[in-house]
């Protein structure tokens, strides 16, 4: 389930493989851009923006992709066999003399002018892992709709970019409120929301580094299988803090988890 940290790692892999190198192969397998050819262009950089990936090429072109639930980019040595899914799921192939990047199941793939990137990412709030990060601005965005449930507000990329369903549940647990708690009902929202936003940044940043367990999402600090997350995916299992069985319900059609003892507030 790609979230901001996953997208950041994907961008780093793609940048390391492609940036500064000339494309020797270009194949965009979506009808609108099937005839586009990037061969001969140098990749300038690959940059993450929230959950979006922006691969920029000389000549003022950007390949914009979004992984959503199932998409993935894989990088292989040139000439090595590809793996990541069946051939019919491949949506993009970008090759250099050294590496080949293959995009599988990409629900969003479009070639745009670099000068028009704002059209696809300009609506995003501060990027949790980006240079524009600003916890106070993120808090202001969240508080702009005080009656909105916190879980929904955290997932809205217009408020802050990078949080997915896993971090939503984990952050609500850390805030000790249910995901259905209105943003304005938090204790002292002007003080609480910047701290919550900063906690979100720390969690994502902690899960992008090359360290033991790096690449495997962990919010608890426990390096024991099955105890990496406080509540997400732990329905009917004991809460790691108090032992009460964790509960699960849908919020905006997404599975959502909380501890009925550690977290106060409304529930379905």
Q: Among all residues, which ones are annotated catalytic?
A: 2-3, 51, 254
**Residue 225 to residue 185: CA distance in whole angstroms:** 35
CA 232 to chain centre: 16
Question: Is 232 buried (19+), middle (13-18) or exposed (0-12) by CB count in 10 A?
Answer: buried
CA distances from 122 to 5, 60, 107, 115, 234 (A): 20, 18, 19, 12, 36
- Helix residue ranges, H only, the chain: 4-18, 118-121, 135-143, 150-155, 165-175, 189-206
Q: Which of 89, 101, 108, 128 is nearest to 3 (CA)?
A: 128
């Amino acid at each position: 389930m790609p979230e901001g940290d996953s997208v950041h790692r994907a961008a780093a892999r793609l940048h390391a493989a492609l940036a500064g190198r000339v494309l020797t192969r270009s194949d965009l397998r979506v009808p609108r851009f099937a005839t586009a050819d990037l061969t001969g262009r140098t990749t300038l950089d690959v940059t993450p923006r929230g959950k979006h990936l922006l691969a920029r090429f000389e000549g003022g072109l950007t390949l914009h992709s979004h992984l959503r639930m199932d998409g993935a980019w894989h990088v292989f040595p040139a000439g090595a066999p590809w793996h990541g899914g069946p051939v019919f799921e491949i949506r993009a192939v970008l090759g250099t003399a050294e590496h080949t990047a293959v995009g599988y199941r990409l629900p969003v793939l479009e070639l745009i002018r670099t000068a028009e990137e704002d059209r696809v990412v300009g609506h995003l709030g501060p990027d949790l892992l980006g240079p524009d990060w600003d916890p106070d601005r993120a808090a202001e965005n969240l508080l702009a709709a005080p009656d909105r449930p916190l879980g929904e507000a955290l997932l809205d990329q217009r408020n802050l970019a990078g949080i997915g369903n896993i971090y939503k549940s984990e952050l609500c647990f850390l805030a000790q409120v249910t995901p259905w708690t209105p943003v304005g009902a938090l204790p002292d929202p002007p003080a609480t929301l910047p701290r919550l936003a900063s906690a979100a940044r720390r969690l994502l940043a902690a899960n992008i580094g090359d360290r033991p367990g790096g690449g495997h999402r962990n919010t608890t600090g426990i390096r024991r299988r099955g105890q990496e997350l406080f509540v997400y995916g732990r329905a009917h299992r004991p809460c790691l803090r108090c032992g009460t069985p964790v509960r699960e319900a849908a919020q905006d059609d997404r599975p959502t988890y909380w501890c009925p003892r550690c977290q106060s507030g409304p529930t379905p």
